[in-house]
Amino acid sequence: MRRPPVPVRTGNSSAKAGAHKKSFLIFCAVIKQKQLQLKYMAIATIKERFKTKADAASQEIKELLKQHGQKKIGEVTLAQIYQGMRGVTGLVSETSLLDAQEGIRFRGYSIPELREKLPPAKGGSEPLPEGLFYLMLIGDLPTQEDANEITSVLQRRSHVPNHVFDTIDALPLNTHPMTMFVIGVMALQTESNFSKEYAKGLAKKDYWSPMFDDAMDLIARLPRIAAYIYRRKYKNNEHIQPNGLLDWAGNLAHMMGFENESFKELMRLYMTIHADHEGGNVSAHTTHLVGSALSDPYLSYAAGMNGLAGPLHGLANQEVIKWIFEMEDELGTDSPTKEQISDYVQKTLSAGKVVPGYGHAVLRKTDPRFTAQMEFAKKHIPDDKLVNTVWKVYETVPSILQSLGKVKNPWPNVDAHSGALLVHYGLVEYEFYTVLFAVSRALGVMASLIWDRALGFPIERPKSVTTESVKLWLEEKEEIWEG
């Protein structure tokens, strides 16, 4: 094929080109300046609003502790310290509170209330996760304008430096997507404002400010990293550039290669319902704990997400769909009957395995996050076979688990439904599901981390014991230290 002729530049035209280039560069500089001004204006107003709230809360907590600091909030039994500290109240997390019967409430609002009250994307009806972030951070329900303001702050902060992609590219393709994700986040830690400011010398009262900036930057950049991993691992390394006009979750769907509007709605819902589940769950608690050592948001979040990658926590969503696919393969049908499902559940239990997606450490009824996804499916995809199997599993599993007599919560949790929805839209690579959970979870754990620093929480350091010291204590030969 002939190549097009290369234009020859005369001296005159190169002078012209030089002048054009100069004015273009000035134009770019002006635009950049304006973008920076906008970026800092938007963030300044959200930051100011946060600071006002945090100062008031800080004062209130000081008073509360002055008056009631010595009041006992609970007792701890020996069984509790050996059994995962269930029911031990030992943390403050302002963003959400879990009720065993009702499910999660974010700043007092339940999932159905959030679906009704949080602003949607243009043309959509599911909540914008940006609105939930605003609610968790500021404590008030956002207006449409507030949610849009968070969207535009995140859009402007979403640039991911190349070395992050290079780091991910250095990993073998068979690396689990969660491992790639956490390594990508660690590579991004070079961008931490907090660690730079701290190295220069930062007063304790100012910790919250660069933490706030880091948290915003990190949340803004996560969809790009997640989508990059998805396209690299499953889509031939062919990447899709961000669309600067889309909302946070819509853009994630776009960069992953899903342009279906109802998939974008699903992503908004998914990112909203997975964002937070009070402070004691593994990912939230780890982020908080690591942050208490003044590790910056990148370090703290990466630590938390290593916890999310465990099969008893966030990895359960991939386990559920794997379990259903294996069941269907074994039964040779994609529409198993309730009797067939029941037999397969018994087989799973006889093999000493748990039924993934069922049970919860705190919840004692059907997870409202499961119900929200079921309602979404009833509205958008009621005839999907896999979704119908998930519903049949729901009709079958609880009574079987109940009959075991030891399972405290036989009802489904959030993970029991999410995979089937994703599969419907073509996101069949279930190993990737926990990455989506992780992107969403950033909203809750980052809002909490900002609050932790604004309220001046100290390094966390509970007391541990040895069984030897417990035995001596039981024999009344030694006291358990209470210092």
Give me the count of residues in the chain.
Answer: 483
Q: Does 321 bind ligand COA (CB under 6 A)?
A: no
Q: Does 88 bind ligand COA (CB under 6 A)?
A: no
Q: Applying CB under 6 A, which of residues 121, 188, 289, 361 lies at the interface with ligand COA?
A: 361
Interaction mask 255-294, ligand COA, x per CB under 6 A: ----------------------------------------
Nearest by Cα to 208 from 53, 85, 79, 101: 53
CA distances from 473 to 86, 201, 388, 466, 478 (A): 22, 45, 55, 11, 5
- Decide if 361 contacts 86 (C-beta within 8 A): yes
Q: What is the DSSP letter of 388?
A: H
Helix 129-138, helix 433-454: angle, nearest 10 = 20
Per DSSP, the residues of 130-154 read HHHHHHHHHSSPPPHHHHHHHHHHH
Choosing from 277, 360, 417, 424, which is the catalytic residue? 360
Choosing from 274, 313, 417, 424, which is the catalytic residue? 313
Q: Does 355 bind ligand COA (CB under 6 A)?
A: yes
Among 100-108, 327-335, 351-359, 440-448, the segment contacting ligand COA (CB under 6 A)? 351-359
313 catalytic, yes or no?
yes
Q: Between 354 and 381, whose beta carbon lies closer to ligand COA?
A: 354
Q: Between 92 and 312, whose beta carbon lies closer to ligand COA?
A: 312
Nearest by Cα to 419 from 315, 303, 305: 315
Q: Between 132 and 361, whose beta carbon lies closer to ligand COA?
A: 361
Q: Applying CB under 6 A, which of residues 21, 32, 205, 408 lies at the interface with ligand COA?
A: 408
CA distances from 366 to 47, 99, 103, 113, 396 (A): 37, 12, 8, 17, 13
Among 103-111, 200-208, 407-415, 438-446, the segment contacting ligand COA (CB under 6 A)? 407-415
Q: Can you tell me the distance from the alpha carbon of 160 to that of 156, in angstroms, rounded to the nearest whole number? A: 11
Q: Does 413 bind ligand COA (CB under 6 A)?
A: yes
Closest contact distance (angstroms) between CB of 79 and ligand COA is: 12
Q: Does 407 bind ligand COA (CB under 6 A)?
A: yes
Among 137-145, 255-263, 350-358, 419-427, the segment contacting ligand COA (CB under 6 A)? 350-358
417 catalytic, yes or no?
no
Q: Does 78 bind ligand COA (CB under 6 A)?
A: no
Choosing from 276, 296, 415, 452, which is the catalytic residue? 415
Q: Can you tell me the distance from the alpha carbon of 107 to that of 418, in angstroms, rounded to the nearest whole number? A: 24
CA 258 to chain centroid, in Å, comes to 20
Q: Can you tell me the distance from the alpha carbon of 370 to that of 366, in angstroms, rounded to the nearest whole number? A: 7
CA distances from 162 to 69, 140, 172, 177 (A): 49, 37, 18, 19
Nearest by Cα to 368 from 272, 467, 480, 464: 272
Q: Does 398 bind ligand COA (CB under 6 A)?
A: no
Closest contact distance (angstroms) between CB of 318 and ligand COA is: 11
Closest contact distance (angstroms) between CB of 356 and ligand COA is: 5
Q: Annotated active-site positions, please?
A: 313, 360, 415
- Binding residues for ligand COA, rule: CB under 6 A, are 312, 316, 354-361, 401, 406-409, 413, 415
